[in-house]
Amino acid sequence: MKSELHYIYRSFNLKKMDHKVFNLIDEELQRQRFGIELIASENFTSQAVLDAMGTCLTNKYAEGYPGRRYYGGCEIVDQIEQLAIDRLKELFGAEYANVQPHSGAQANAAVFLAVLKPGDNILGFDLSHGGHLSHGSTVNYSGKVYKPHFYGVSRETGVIDMDVVEKKAHEVKPKLIICGASAYARDWDYARFRSIANDVGALLLADIAHPAGLIATGLLNDPMQHCHIVTSTTHKTLRGPRGGLIMMGKNFENPFGLKTKKGSLRKMSGILNSGVFPGMQGGPLEHVIAAKAVAFGEALQPAYKEYCKQVMKNAQTMAEVLVERGYNIVSGGTSNHLMLIDLRNKGVSGRDAENALGRAGITVNKNMVPFDDKSPMITSGLRIGTPAITTRGLDEKACQKIVGYMDDVIMDIGNEKRQQAIHEEVKGMMKNFPLY
Ligand code: DSN
């Protein structure tokens, strides 16, 4: 017998109630189904994650935390949020987890609010070298409220030089050091970052928004062993709903300058929780939290590790074939799910390449490359990644084919006819990898 929930959910007919919104959602679904998605920060959730998001949980106010809410009627959402917390802790071996941040940027903002004072020095990875807006960029609140300083990659290697990080940290004595990026293809030396943080008396935050899934499955270095605090999004390699999270590992060692180590986990949990609510956010999105719980449950399954391994194999294949075809990849290749292509030797801008590839049904994003001489709206680079195509089931062979399409488009950038022909081929290819 069908449950009441099933009845209400299935009988709601968006098409009849609001055909304009329905049609636009349907158009987007067709775009996703028949295109090649190479945006490194995107992925396709399971149907189960989508189902959890589109539920009555969106109706519920639940300011506070499980067992300590400011509203009645939270008995059920308490269990849902606790399940998400427990699964997340299991996934990363965390001692503390907060699943309420609406996004990665808000997770970072909540941490800053919790542990910093306005005007404090912070040290993060330069946005123009692959960092993130919320790590102190001057156009972001983090660079307006706090005093930002940056480290970058070496011009020769395209890799972060830890000696430079150390020198900079000693120079500016930051209260917080941030490691993590949105366009960096190499792994992070969290142990060295921690040793630098210890030397200068800084807290260490790892923002693992991009490689979270590869870390959870043990394929990349583990920040939980070394960093005081870890933030992430839930929708990139982690393949959950759009959202954020905050965690702490076992290594608390009095990070907030608390007088006693006794009970410090509880105190620090309280400080971080307050940073999220009431500090940064109001009511949590319990429908999204339910979907996070589903995604964390999926990521705990052995099949998810196989998926993550394939993501990395696909990325390595794409990087290798691109190099064979004469493309420059920043740092020479990739150790994770993404790569940054420097198009300067091809005489094509990131913007033009993004537009032309879009016409061919291949979605990418233009991206600054380190030491770029073009503006962020033009750029000299493209960032591509494999989490989404791997979810669709594409393998190394398909990746070789995709690089062939990309090369054809980029090397004949003005040929719209060719782009349309490739678009038809792309549609034919993606029909074989059904989505929803
Ligand atoms: N917008 C995300 C990305 O594309 O990496 C970062 O916030």
Q: How confident is the model at residue 265 (pLDDT cuts 50, 70, 90)?
A: confident
Which pLDDT score, from 0 to 100, does residue 261 have?
55
Pocket of ligand 1 (CB under 6 A): 41, 104, 132, 182
pLDDT digits (tens, 9 = 90+) for 308-342: 999 999 999 999 999 999 999 999 999 999 999 99
| Nearest Cα residue to atom 4 of ligand 1 | 41
Cβ neighbors of 17 (< 8 A, separation 6 or more) are: none
| Nearest Cα residue to atom 5 of ligand 1 | 182
- Is the CA virtual torsion 226, 231, 233, 238 positive or negative? positive
The CA distance from 3 to 52, in Å, is: 15
In the block, which residue shows the tokens 């996703």? 32
- Burial status of residue 272 (CB atoms within 10 A of its CB: 0-12, 13-18, 19 or more): buried
Q: Which atom of ligand 1 is nearest to the CA of 39?
A: 4
Å from CA of 8 to ligand 1 middle: 35
Tell me, letter by letter, the H, E, C secondary structure of 376-425. Answer: CCCCCEEEEECHHHHHHCCCHHHHHHHHHHHHHHHHCCCCHHHHHHHHHH
Q: How confident is the model at residue 12 (pLDDT cuts 50, 70, 90)?
A: low
Supply the residues annotated as catalytic. Answer: 61, 63, 207, 233, 236, 242
Å from CA of 182 to ligand 1 middle: 6
Work out the average pLDDT over 389-412: 98
Work out the average pLDDT over 178-191: 98
Pocket mutation for ligand 1, best pick of 178, 182, 207 (most atoms within 8 Å of C-beta): 182
Å from CA of 180 to ligand 1 middle: 12
Average pLDDT value over all residues in the chain: 94
Query: In the sheet that 96-98 helps form, which strands lie side by side, from edge to edge?
Result: 96-98, 244-248, 229-233, 203-207, 176-179, 121-125, 147-151
The single-letter DSSP state of residue 278 is I
- DSSP lists the bridge partners of residue 102 as none
The CA distance from 3 to 5, in Å, is: 5
pLDDT digits (tens, 9 = 90+) for 80-105: 999 999 999 999 999 999 999 999 99
Nearest to 280 by CA among 134, 137, 86, 74: 134
| Nearest Cα residue to atom 1 of ligand 1 | 41
Query: DSSP characters for 191-260?
Result: HHHHHHHHHHT-EEEEE-TTTHHHHHTTSS--GGGT-SEEEEESSSTT--SS-EEEEE-S--SSTT--S-
| Nearest Cα residue to atom 3 of ligand 1 | 41
Cβ neighbors of 381 (< 8 A, separation 6 or more) are: 330, 340, 341, 342, 343, 350, 366, 367, 368, 369, 372
pLDDT digits (tens, 9 = 90+) for 37-66: 999 999 999 999 999 999 999 999 999 999
Å from CA of 4 to ligand 1 middle: 39
Q: Is the peptide bond between 284 and the residue preceding it cis, with omega within 30 degrees of 0?
A: no
| Nearest Cα residue to atom 6 of ligand 1 | 182
36-37 and 362-363 beta bridge pairing: parallel
Tell me the two tokens of residue 187: 């792994």
The CA distance from 210 to 41, in Å, is: 7
The CA distance from 407 to 141, in Å, is: 39
Å from CA of 46 to ligand 1 middle: 21
The continuous run of DSSP H or E covering 61 comes out as none
Q: How confident is the model at residue 8 (pLDDT cuts 50, 70, 90)?
A: low
pLDDT digits (tens, 9 = 90+) for 19-31: 899 899 999 999 9
Work out the average pLDDT over 266-285: 94
Which pLDDT score, from 0 to 100, does residue 297 have?
98
Which pLDDT score, from 0 to 100, does residue 1 have?
42
Give yes or no for a contact between 167 and 316, defined as CB atoms under 8 angstroms apart.
no
Percent helix, percent strand, percent coil in the chain, to nearest 5: 50, 15, 35
Å from CA of 104 to ligand 1 middle: 9
Work out the average pLDDT over 269-282: 96
Angle, helix 104-115 to helix 264-274, in steps of 10 degrees: 120
User: What's the first-to-final CA gap in the chain, in angstroms?
Assistant: 25
Query: DSSP characters for 75-89?
Result: HHHHHHHHHHHHHHH
pLDDT digits (tens, 9 = 90+) for 216-235: 999 999 999 999 999 999 99
The CA distance from 325 to 50, in Å, is: 39
Pocket mutation for ligand 1, best pick of 102, 127, 132 (most atoms within 8 Å of C-beta): 132
